[in-house]
Amino acid sequence: LSPDAFDRLPRDKIVALVTGSQGEPRAALARIAEDEHQEVRLAAGDRVIFSSRTIPGNEKGVGQIINGLVAQGIEVITDRTHLVHVSGHPRRSEVAEMYGWLRPKIAIPAHGEALHLAEHARFARGLGIAHVVKARNGDMVRLGPGEPCIVDEAPHGRLCRDGSLVLAADDQAIQQRGKLSFSGVVSIAIAVNARGDVAGSPDVVFAGLPGRGRDSKPIDEIIDDAIFETLDGLPRQKRRDPDTAAIAVERAVRNAVGNAWGKKPTVHVLIVEV
């Protein structure tokens, strides 16, 4: 049956197998619990059975789903109340039986953490597997000719969908946005004349900062004070050097806001010579 048939059939005749039992936020079960799924909508009196056990670390996400379902009047059954757990992982005896059927010459443990991979390798050797290769993410394994071994490393790592692009999770743009979301940004433009004097008032724009500091002083006043105190304290020759003046103002504003707020924002300073 297609998902759109869910609402057309008697509710007591339907069993829907859905993803998301570990609290994945965009999986089907999470959307059902928030009543945001396009095809599957539950009603009071329906029943949801978790055949899984919550993996440590996923408790918060799973709890949110269960609470969302209960709030809709839905009965929730888990392994805490009923014998419903079904593991997707084979036991050692079952893995040994599989190896007995296949009788492979090569084994490459490829699931789990380092502890699991090492134990799987020992287990495979104990079953008489001739060649066991302990590979890590990105390792390129040559199976033949000759003895299997690691010969190279392929590009690997976590990737993120960023708009219409796919970027590495440690890409500078993603890291910068994470920093901006945590501590905000201040942009400052200052006009300086040939004598090194400030011409007019600095243009200050900030985002993600609170309106006032710890002592209730407005943040914009804190920033302005830091700018003028820094420039007034610089020798005239250094004020005429845009790079030197910009670095001094940036440090002063970061420290001033940090003292008033407890977080140091990203600060961009542009010195314009007029």
- In tens, the pLDDT along 145-171 reads 999 999 999 988 889 889 999 999 999
User: How crowded is the C-beta side of 48, counted as CA atoms within 13 Å?
Assistant: 28
Is the predicted pLDDT of residue 21 greater than 80, yes or no? yes
- Range(s) of the chain covered by CATH 3.10.20.580: 176-273
Mean pLDDT of 3-17: 86
Each residue of 165-221: pLDDT tens digit?
999 999 999 999 999 999 999 999 999 998 888 898 999 999 999 999 999 999 999
Band the pLDDT of 6: cuts 50, 70, 90.
confident
Mean pLDDT of 50-76: 94
pLDDT score at 74? 95
Is the predicted pLDDT of residue 61 greater than 90, yes or no? yes
Question: What own/partner pairs with CB < 8 Å and gap ≥ 24 does 236-239 have?
Answer: 236/195, 236/196, 237/196, 238/196, 239/192, 239/196, 239/197
200 to each of 197, 230, 274, how far by Cα in Å? Answer: 9, 16, 11
- Range(s) of the chain covered by CATH 3.40.50.10710: 3-77
pLDDT score at 262? 96
60 to each of 54, 55, 63, 233, how far by Cα in Å? Answer: 10, 11, 5, 52
From the number of C-beta atoms within 10 Å of its C-beta (0-12, 13-18, 19+), residue 178 rates as exposed
pLDDT score at 85? 86
DSSP string, 86-119: --SS--HHHHHHHHHHH--SEE---SS-HHHHHH
> What top-level class would CATH report for the domain 176-273?
alpha beta
pLDDT score at 127? 96
Q: What is 3-77's CATH number, 3.40.190.10, 3.40.50.300, 3.20.20.450, 3.40.50.10710?
A: 3.40.50.10710
Is the predicted pLDDT of residue 120 greater than 80, yes or no? yes
pLDDT score at 102? 95
For all residues of the chain together, what is the average pLDDT?
Answer: 93
Q: What is the three-class DSSP state of 49?
A: strand
pLDDT score at 4? 79
- Supply the Cα-derived Rg of the chain in whole angstroms: 30
pLDDT score at 123? 97
Each residue of 224-266: pLDDT tens digit?
999 999 999 999 889 889 999 999 999 999 999 999 999 999 9
pLDDT score at 175? 93
